[in-house]
Amino acid sequence: MSTDLFCEIIAGERPATMVHSDEVAVSFLDSRPVFKGHVLVVPRVHVETLADLAGVGPFFERVQAMARAVEQGLEAGGTFVAMNNRVSQSVPHLHVHVVPRRKKDGLRGFFWPRTTYASAEEATSYADLIAKAL
């Protein structure tokens, strides 16, 4: 296994606010969210890009379920689902952003402003709402 940040989270060597984990994917809150409730879905196996991923179907079933859960759990109007391959990929481990969206939330194009959680408890409350919706 590689030693990137996401592999460390998957191995339990680095803390993260977990939303869901199974044999295919691990989902946790982004530590620098675009909007509160922004989830990263990463494959449990280390791959850098989408082209490297075997089992694309099962992984994207998890992404689809997470998009649904973010909308339902946070009562969001929709989601923004995005992935980078190498260029603009902050961690060299495939990851999909699932960002809650609301009308007039201010997100424009590919400029991603970032926010923070007031506390670990606030982050956990968002993770719990999404996890319950799964």
User: Which of the residues are catalytic?
Assistant: 95
The span from the CA of 62 to the CA of 59, in Å, is 5
CA distances from 115 to 91, 123, 133 (A): 19, 12, 23
User: Rounded to 10 degrees, what is the CA torsion of 6, 84, 36, 78?
Assistant: -130
* Amino acid at residue number 20: H
Helix (H) and strand (E) counts in the chain: 3, 5
Instruction: Give bridge partners of residue 92 from the DSSP assignment.
Output: none
CA distances from 51 to 30, 56, 59, 85, 89 (A): 23, 9, 13, 9, 14
